[in-house]
Amino acid sequence: MAEYGEWNKKGATLSDVTAKKEYGVERDLIIRGIREGKLEFREGDIYGNPYLRILRRQLEEYLALQPDSGQYFTNKKMAEIRRINKDIAALEKKIRNLKKERAELEDQLNRHA
């Protein structure tokens, strides 16, 4: 069972779609976990599209029991690496823009000095 307030904590829940992106988990596996009583869920919909919201902790515990559990956690690590690479690229772009802006300001300063 979920701990008190666990459904409201940031990052404690994820949708079935996010579970597929992060862990490579199919909706069928999530539904099987719900039917087995291993996963609690809440239903929701965004713009008329239904989704299942599940607890991340329970999903990870359930995946650890699966025979091919290593693959799910490999998928999660790969998703984290993609997110980190995206963040690095964004920061490098920001650094390039700041260096360009600094060079322009230094150029203007030198012309007026």
- Supply the pTM of this predicted model: 0.68
Element (DSSP H or E) covering residue 47: none
Q: What value does the mean pLDDT of the chain take?
A: 89
Which one-letter amino acid corresponds to residue 74? T
Inform me whether the pLDDT recorded for 102 exceeds 80: yes
pLDDT band, very low/low/confident/very high, at 1 (cuts 50, 70, 90) = low
Place of tokens 């799910």: 72
**DSSP strand E in 19-84: where?**
41-46, 49-55
Nearest Cα neighbor of 35 from 57, 52, 21 is: 52
Tell me how far apart the alpha carbons of residues 107 and 14 are, in angstroms, rounded to a whole number. Answer: 50
Tell me how far apart the alpha carbons of residues 65 and 57 are, in angstroms, rounded to a whole number. Answer: 13
Cβ within 8 Å of residue 24, ≥6 positions away: 71, 72, 75
Place of tokens 């700041």: 98
Q: What is the pLDDT of residue 107?
A: 93
Mean pLDDT (whole number) for 77-103: 94
